Structure formats: C-alpha cells, structure tokens
Amino acid sequence: MGPIVFRDKGYRFYFLSRDKQEMHVHVVSADGEAKYWLEPTIKLANNFHYSEQQLSEIKMLIESHQDEIIDAWLERFFDES
C-alpha cells in the first residue's frame, strides 16, 4: 500500500506508489477494496466485496474530500522536483 491520503469511517484512501495512470484513488477496509477514477467524474473502476450501500458511502466520502485527494495526487506524482 502506498501513501494514505485520509481515513474516514473505517476506510483508508490511498495511492499506490508507482501507479501513475489516470487520476484515481484506492480505498480499503476490513470489508473490501475498491478503486475510483477521479476525472472527468468520480466513477467506480474496481470493486472487491463492497455492497452498493458501502460504495455509495465511499463515493460520498471521495466527493467531500475531492480537493484534498487531487492536491495529494498532484503533489505525489507531479511535484517531483
């Protein structure tokens, strides 16, 4: 697992260290894992074991932290000076 961007409601939101594809965020908890694309809109990319209710909650958390996630992504992958 790479750098953790934030934690909320038992979920950890993080990036993989060398995973420099389209802007996205990974999420993991005791119940499963998922990956969400951030652009052009927040969209589920992969889901392993989360229910629809959990996916809705995760998406709302990403939406409420979207600026923080994008800033962290840009700093992590494009501020390599």
pLDDT of residue 3: 83
The model's pLDDT over 15-74, given as tens digits with 9 standing for 90+, comes to 987 766 789 999 999 999 999 999 999 999 999 999 999 999 999 999 999 999 999 998
pLDDT of residue 68: 96
Residue 76 to residues 10, 18, 19, 31, 52, Cα–Cα distance (Å): 23, 10, 11, 27, 30
Assess whether pLDDT exceeds 90 at residue 80: no
Q: Report helix, strand and coil shares of the chain as percent, to nearest 5.
A: 30, 35, 35
Whole-structure pTM value: 0.91
pLDDT of residue 11: 98
Q: 76 or 36: which carries more pLDDT confidence?
A: 36
